[in-house]
């Protein structure tokens, strides 16, 4: 008998090499939502260039990052939370509390280099408290963060219900600063901060043990616990990170508007969740990328930009279109996960 006669044969005539190739070339469904978002973004931008004058100007893309810097920072924190299978409804209220507290303290003569870390620490503490309640008392994230929403919003209204102007020299300087990127194209510091946050978050998720733990908990928290992963510590950490990002978003908001108001950031939590879902982050956790969230923010921002260029459309159309996209991406997520099973 020759060596060829001894080659194992599987049912249906498929050898082990063919089976191995099938496993290697099986498509990874994790990338389907983010590729769909990227395709949608390209189609929308191409449509804008084809239909509107000066839409191809680089300042249009640069302004997308500037105008959506706060949302982008908040959505990055939300991405970590959703990846663990949770949700954070308090981020918009934390933004309002941060802006009001920042404006009040600066108006009271506090040094800006004391105010900045103080409000960021407060946001992180609110997030950590919510994470602790969720983990130790087994409270649903929706309920725990809803309580956080009412607490933060109530504190903001208690401090001051009126808009508080910020006249601090550092804040005004940051608001007026422009970074030249090209001939006639400039951006603000808040956009630079947002991009840096995205880069750091993407690196943390991709290359650190904490990032792997986040994905593992979102995939199956019970299995992660059996494997000895720090489920409780990681869960508290992601809500702490979300609170910190919300507070940082509030600081950026106060720099951009040079004011603080208890109703600033109203509804921002829903915009952040929408950006994550449109960016391909799975609502049940365990799948998604920060880059997808970035694309989701750009898609929602580009919708508003196109409506502004159109000129004769009601701004409500932005909400309608985002709602339709949300339905579409949720259905797509369901189909992709079902096919993966």
Q: Does the residue 314 lie in any domain?
A: yes
Q: Does the residue 335 lie in any domain?
A: yes
The dihedrals phi and psi of 185, each to the nearest 5 degrees, come to: -115, 120
Tokens standing for residue 293: 């969230």
Q: CA distances (Å), 304 to each of 48, 67, 220, 317, 331, in order?
A: 12, 10, 37, 9, 23
**pTM, full prediction:** 0.90
Tokens standing for residue 225: 């616990």
Q: Does the residue 51 lie in any domain?
A: yes
Decide which of 22 and 211 is more confident. Answer: 211
The dihedrals phi and psi of 259, each to the nearest 5 degrees, come to: -160, 165
Q: Does the residue 7 lie in any domain?
A: no
Q: What percent of the chain has pLDDT over 70?
A: 91
CATH number, domain of 166, equals: 1.10.3470
Q: Does the residue 21 lie in any domain?
A: no
Q: Does the residue 14 lie in any domain?
A: no
Q: Does the residue 1 lie in any domain?
A: no
Decide which of 103 and 340 is more confident. Answer: 103
Task: Evaluate if residue 270 carries a pLDDT over 60.
Answer: yes
CA distance 176 to 257: 10
Q: Does the residue 25 lie in any domain?
A: no
Alpha-carbon torsion (130, 131, 137, 142), positive or negative: positive
Which tens digits make up the pLDDT trace of 35-75?
Answer: 999 999 999 999 999 999 999 999 999 999 999 999 999 99
> Alpha helices of the chain — where are they, by DSSP H?
16-24, 32-51, 58-67, 69-83, 91-107, 112-136, 141-159, 169-176, 189-207, 209-219, 221-226, 231-257, 268-278, 290-310, 316-340
Q: How many domains does the chain have?
A: 1
Domain region containing 199:
31-340
């Amino acid at each position: 008998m020759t060596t060829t006669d001894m080659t194992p044969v599987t049912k249906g005539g498929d050898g082990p090499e063919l089976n191995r190739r099938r496993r290697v070339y099986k498509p990874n469904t994790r990338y389907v939502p983010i590729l769909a978002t990227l395709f949608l973004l390209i189609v929308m931008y191409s449509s804008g260039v084809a239909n509107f004058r000066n839409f191809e100007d680089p300042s249009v893309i640069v302004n997308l990052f500037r105008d959506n810097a706060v949302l982008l920072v908040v959505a990055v924190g939300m991405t970590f939370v959703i990846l663990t299978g949770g949700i954070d409804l308090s981020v918009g209220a934390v933004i309002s509390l941060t802006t009001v507290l920042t404006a009040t303290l600066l108006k009271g003569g506090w040094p800006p280099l004391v105010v900045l870390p103080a409000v960021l620490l407060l946001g992180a503490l609110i997030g950590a408290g919510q994470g602790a309640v969720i983990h130790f008392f087994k409270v649903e994230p929706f309920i725990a963060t809803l309580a956080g929403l009412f607490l933060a919003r109530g504190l903001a209204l208690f401090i001051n219900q009126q808009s508080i102007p910020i006249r601090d020299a550092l804040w005004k300087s940051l608001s007026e600063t422009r970074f030249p990127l090209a001939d006639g194209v400039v951006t603000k510091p808040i956009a630079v901060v947002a991009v840096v946050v995205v880069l750091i978050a993407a690196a943390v998720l991709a290359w650190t043990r904490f990032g792997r733990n986040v994905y593992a908990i979102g995939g199956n928290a019970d299995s992660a616990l059996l494997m000895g992963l720090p489920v409780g510590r990681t869960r508290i950490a992601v809500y702490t990170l979300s609170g910190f990002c919300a507070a940082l978003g509030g600081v950026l908001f106060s720099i951009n508007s040079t004011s603080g108001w208890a109703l600033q950031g109203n509804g921002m939590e829903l915009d952040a969740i929408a950006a994550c879902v449109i960016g391909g982050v799975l609502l049940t956790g365990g799948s998604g990328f920060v880059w997808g969230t970035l694309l989701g923010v750009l898609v929602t921002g580009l919708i508003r930009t196109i409506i502004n260029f159109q000129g004769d459309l009601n701004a409500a159309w932005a909400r309608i279109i985002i709602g339709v996209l949300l339905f579409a991406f949720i259905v797509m997520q369901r189909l992709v996960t079902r096919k993966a099973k």
